[in-house]
Amino acid sequence: PGICHFIWEHAVDMHRVMLRTFSGMKSQICQPCVIILGQACHPHGHSPDDHKVKKVV
């Protein structure tokens, strides 16, 4: 389909692994920031989730 055959095979293999390994509803892939256990994790570090902080304050 216009790309090298081995790249296509790798993409198909990764797709199969991801379907069998990860839950689509719970996965957050290629996101600038994700919430894990009440912590906002981003490239600059992590901080408490704003939603959780509002409940405490």
The pLDDT of residue 6: 86
Length of the chain: 57
The pLDDT of residue 1: 55
By CB atoms closer than 10 A (0-12, 13-18, 19+), residue 37 is: exposed
Average predicted confidence (pLDDT) for the chain: 82
For 14-33, what is each residue's pLDDT tens digit?
888 888 887 777 777 788 88
The pLDDT of residue 54: 75
**In sequence order, what DSSP letters do the residues of 19-41 get, joined into one string?**
HHHS-TTT---S-S-EEETTEEE
The pLDDT of residue 57: 67
pLDDT: is 24 or 37 the higher one? 37
Dist. CA 17–CA 6, nearest whole Å: 16
